[in-house]
Structures are given as structure tokens and as C-alpha cells.
Amino acid sequence: MVIADRLSARLVGAVTRPGRLGALGGPALWALFFLILLVPIGLFLLVAVSPAIVGQGRAWLTFANFATALQGQTLQGLVDSLVVSATTAVISVAVALGLAWLVQRTTIPGRGLWTLLVWVVLLTPSFLVSLGWERLLEPDGILVHLGVPTTGIANVFFGPVGVVFVLTTKGVPFAYFAISAALGALGREFEDAARTHGAGRWAALRLVLPILAPAFWSALAIVFAETISDFGVATTIAATANFPIATQTLFNAVDNFPANFPVAAAVGWLLVGSVGLALVAQSRALRGRSYQVLSGRTRPSVRVRLGRRGRALALTAMGAFFGLSLGVPFAGALSASLVKPTASSITWNSLTLANYATVLHHPTLLGPLGLSAALACVAATVAVVVGVIVARTLTRRRAGPSARVLDLLLLATVGLPGIVLGAGYIFAYNLPWLNDIGIHLYGTLILLDMAYLANTVPSTTRLLVGPMAQVQFGLHDAARVHGSGGLRAWRTTVVPLLSRSLLWAWLFGFTGILFELPISQLLYPPGQETLAVAINAAFANYSYAPGTTLMVVSVGFAVIVVGVVLLLFRIGAPRGWQRVGSAR
């Protein structure tokens, strides 16, 4: 605790005294990343090539573990992951382009609502969506209770098609935010020039699309990385269909007894390398080309006015996407939670609230929700503080080479599968010599929250880098000149400008940690199951009614938390804070 207090004090000092951030972002910052990222990831990946150095075998240098990973079920899982991720990335970008064009370039009603729903899809974990679809289509699912045969569609859905479908719905938000920002900022002069020279609307669109290539490639890379690292679909739909996925094979290697850490580490190398290939492809595609089309003369784009038929088609398309990505799985989960477990069909007599009474009065079911909420609150808060420090470090005008190294580390970690990070924590903090010197972290909630923090800081930082880069720190310096202390200067000049970004970064971290599955599955202490582990365990034990009800309750709880936080910001935040970053 003394070390943690000193580390926190050094971090706060780095924020309030920007000069301390320096070339390396401060020793405390690097010490934090060393403990939560470099040590567990580095030691875990090292096991693949040198098992003896950490007591996992006799070989000091070997590549036999890679040979084992590149055969049989493990190889099949890797190939499946690559194909699924590439397919998902392409489809997600195509769908996101359509959504972004409707929201940014047309007069479709409810533009704010559609953007909010994209955030809801982003915040909804893939394994919850998968479980919702399973409760609809499985042999004893809701549609069967309604008398609707599901054998044909279930045979198609429980396999590659269903895996790609669910991952696409989860990949669209990442692609949407990458594309919509570029599409919204792009002026209309290129379209006007094309139309002036006789080009039709579609020909003008074909002219504009290549200009958005950086956004497309960025979207492809991030969706590919998010998809190949996904564990929720691998442990639900893919597992049900016996469709091997790389993240599941890595988990099996670690979770089996005895654990095969060297092969698991080799699979981790292959997953990280796959993400690296996506980033290399993005870099090569954009190398040597200029996409600098924005200037002071850029004219704002004009929204296409939709007629009655156009509005109907646009609203139908929007409704179809969000209905399939949110409405149908949540409706399936909600209806399943209201049906008696012994019912053979859905009638008024088969509906009950007994499942909710069981969950709300059963500490072993509701307890995981409270535990995960507490852990998520702590980790999300610390992640936002660290994210602000790192974002400030990366956006300083005189950021040195070490800042670029830090940026590269964060970029690599964004695409790091959570299952690799969790396995790294098992290995790094369960070494015998740590217990010999009195450090007992393995099997504790402290280690679990450290892993949550490590998994959340990179994405939180990426969310804050853009807003931080727009802040003019001359305001902060002026406040210091006029006698304000470091914390007061930040509170009165920087925090108001970043308030909305900090709010959404916290909500993003909180909801992500609340439903986090792979790290929780590997690191939760015995007898202290987290929310995602409890839901997954209920379904694995065929306790569908309690599992589905707990899922509905937890989603409702998350929605309430988001609503309350936004309401408190609206009521309690100064009016000036609310104006910054809001649309008129």
C-alpha cells in the first residue's frame, strides 16, 4: 500500500506539474506500465521460446511450441480466426459507411438517437448479444416455445455465419466512429466539382470514397484487431457449434490441468502477430500517398434532403440494423427471463417474475453484480486519471522519442487479446519467488483489478488523445502565472474543456469492465465470481432461467448507471462545462 500511495502521488504530481512529464512521461508512469503491462505480457510471451528461464520446461531456446500451435485444432482455430476477422472487418466497414453517410450527409430524422444507439451497441459485450441469440434459437429456446421451428436457421446460425454476424454487429461501432469523423469533416467541393463536370450522384460518391481511404483502413485495422481478440463469441456461439477460435484454444491451454503455458504463449504470439499484420497492411496501403484535402477553404457539406420514400428506406435500414444487433437478442433474453423453466410453450400461465425474485434475493447470483460494479468503478476511475496523464504526455509539442515508444506500446496493447493479458497475469504474478519475498497477489481481487486497469488504460487513452490535443494549454499556464496551484489550474482550465470526453471515457471503461469475460474467467478468486463469470457459468451449467435473468438485470443496471451519471452531469456540472463539445 505504501508503494501504491507513493506511485499515486507521483502521478498526480506529473499531472499538476506538466514539466515533470518530460521525455519519458515521468518515472511513475513508466513504473506503472512496467508492472501492469510489460512484466505480465513480456514474461508470458517469453515462455513460448524459452520455457526453462521461467521454470516451465527444460529448453532454453526452442520453437517447438510454435510447431505444436501450428497443427491440429490449434491451427484450425487460428485459421478460423483470421478468416472470420477479415470477413467481419470488410462487412463492418461497409455497413458503417452506410450508417455514417445516412447520419452525416442526409436529413434522416433522429440523428442524435442513432448515434446514441451506436454507443449502446459499442458498450454491449459480445457474449451478452450471443447469449441473447442463443436463447432465441436453441432447441429449448423462446421461438420453440412460441411454436416456431428453428432447426434450419439454428443449423446455419450456430457456426461461422452466426459468429461473423454477431462480431459484425460489434465491429460496426468501431468502424462507424472512424468513418463518421472523416466523412463529417470532408467538404463538398470535390462532389460539387464532379457534379459540375457532369458526374451523377453515384459517380461523385466514387470520387469521394478514395479520399476517405485513411479512415477506411483505420476502421479495417481496428475491427480486425477487436474481432481476432474477441472471447465472448468464442465461448458461446462458436463453442456451441464446435467451431474452434484461437482465443478459445488459448484459454483451453491455460485452463486445462496441467496448464500448457508454452503452447498458450505461442498462440498469443500468433494472435499479436496477426494484429501486427493488419497494422502493416494499413501502413503499406497509405504509404506514399497524400490525403490532405482539408484547408481553410473547405466548405461544409450539405445534407442530402430525403424525400418521403428516402426517409422510409433510411429509417427501415436503421431499424433493421439496430433491431438485429440490439432489439432481437435483448427481446430474446427478456422473454426467456419471464418464462417458467418447466414451461413447454409460452402462454399467460407460463409467464412469471419468480426468476427475478430468485436473482434479487440470492446473494450468490446478485453478489457478482455488486462485486463487478465496485471493481469497475475503481478501475475505470484510475484508468481515466492515467489516461489523462498519458494523453497529455503524447500530445505535448516537445514529446521525445520515448513518448513515441509509449504511443506504440499503447497501440499494440489496444489490439492485444484480453485472454493473452489474463494469461500473462496468471504466469507473472504466480511465480514462486514472489511468494518467497512476501508478495501474494495471485488469487486476489487486487490482481484482478490490476488486469482490468491494464486492459482499459490503452483504449481510454486513445479516446482522450484527440480531445487533449485540442486543448490550448496557454490557459493553464496563464492560470499558474496568476497564482493558481497545479490542481486548481487543471480544474479551472483543462477539466472543463475535457469534461464530456472524461465522462464518456469513464462510462466506456466502467461498462467494459462490468461485463469483462476473458480476464475475469482466468483471474477471479475462488468463491468471488464476477458478473460475466456468473452469467457464463449459469449457461454452461444449463441454468438458463437464472443466467438469462441475471443478464437482463445486469444490463438494466448498466443502463441505469449510464443514465444516472449523464443526469448528474447535466444537473450538477456548470453550464459552461455542458456547452463545450455539445452540438447546437
For the chain, list the domains and their CATH numbers. 80-244+302-352 (1.10.3720.10)
Residue 49 has φ and ψ, to the nearest 5°, of -105, -20
Contacts of 221 (CB under 8 A, 6+ apart): 89, 278, 279, 281, 282
Averaged pLDDT, 453-471: 76
pTM over 0.85: no
Local structure of residue 259 (DSSP, 8 states): -
Place of cell 499484420: 277
Given CA atoms 223, 270, 459, 244 in this order, what sign does their dihedral have? positive
3-state secondary structure of 231: coil
Q: Find the mean pLDDT for residues 56-70.
A: 81
User: 497: closest CA among 519, 469, 525?
Assistant: 469
Percent over 90 (pLDDT), the chain: 6
CA nearest neighbour of 499 among 417, 408, 580: 580
User: For position 154, what pLDDT does the model report?
Assistant: 80
CB count within 10 Å of CB 447 equals 20
CA distance 503 to 515: 19
Q: Of the ranges 25-34, 243-252, 489-498, which one carries the lowest mean pLDDT score?
A: 489-498
Average pLDDT over residues 13-33: 56
pLDDT at position 197? 53
Radius of gyration of the chain from Cα atoms? 25
Say which residues have a Cβ less than 8 Å from residue 17's Cβ, sequence separation at least 6. Answer: 486
Closest CA to 452 of 392, 526, 530: 530
Which residues, 6+ apart, have CB-to-CB distance to 490 below 8 Å? 15, 16, 476
10 Å CB burial of residue 563 (0-12, 13-18, 19+) is exposed
Q: What percent of the chain has pLDDT over 70?
A: 71
Query: Taking Cα atoms as reference points, which of 522, 524, 514, 499 lies closest to residue 574?
Result: 499
The mean-pLDDT minimum among 182-191, 257-266, 394-403, 406-415 falls in: 182-191
376 has pLDDT over 90 = yes
Average pLDDT over residues 429-455: 82
pLDDT at 126: 85
Distance separating alpha carbons of residues 209 and 224, to the nearest angstrom: 20
Please state the separation of Cα 480 from the chain's center in Å.
37
Model pLDDT, residue 469 = 65
CA distances in angstroms from 579 to 479, 563, 584, listed in the order given: 21, 19, 9
DSSP state of 60: S
Query: What letter would DSSP give residue 35?
Result: I
Would you give the DSSP letter of residue 338?
T
Mean pLDDT of the chain: 75
Please report the pLDDT score of residue 481 as a whole number.
Answer: 53
